[in-house]
């Protein structure tokens, strides 16, 4: 199990991912904002939970 060293917390990250997934699908947020989405995930500490660094 990975240990968290700060960041937003897994529940907050999961909620953000779900909310943004819906917004992208519904085109409420254009796909041109995807890089900002990934940057936000990184700043929330998502790499710590997935073990896979986002590009």
Q: How far apart are CA 22 and CA 7, in angstroms?
A: 23
Average pLDDT over residues 25-41: 95
Mean pLDDT score, 22-48: 92
Model confidence over 8-28: pLDDT tens digits?
A: 688 899 899 999 999 999 999
Instruction: Please check whether residue 13 is in contact with residue 41, taking contact to mean a CB–CB distance below 8 angstroms.
Output: yes
Model-level pTM?
0.71
- Say whether pLDDT at 30 is over 50: yes
Helices (H) and strands (E) in the chain, counts: 3, 0
**Per-domain residue ranges of the chain:** 10-45
């Amino acid at each position: 199990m990975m240990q968290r060293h700060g960041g937003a917390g897994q529940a907050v990250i999961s909620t953000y991912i779900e909310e943004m997934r819906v917004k992208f699908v519904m085109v409420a947020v254009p796909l041109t904002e995807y890089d900002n989405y990934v940057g936000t995930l990184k700043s929330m500490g998502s790499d710590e939970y997935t073990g896979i660094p986002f590009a």
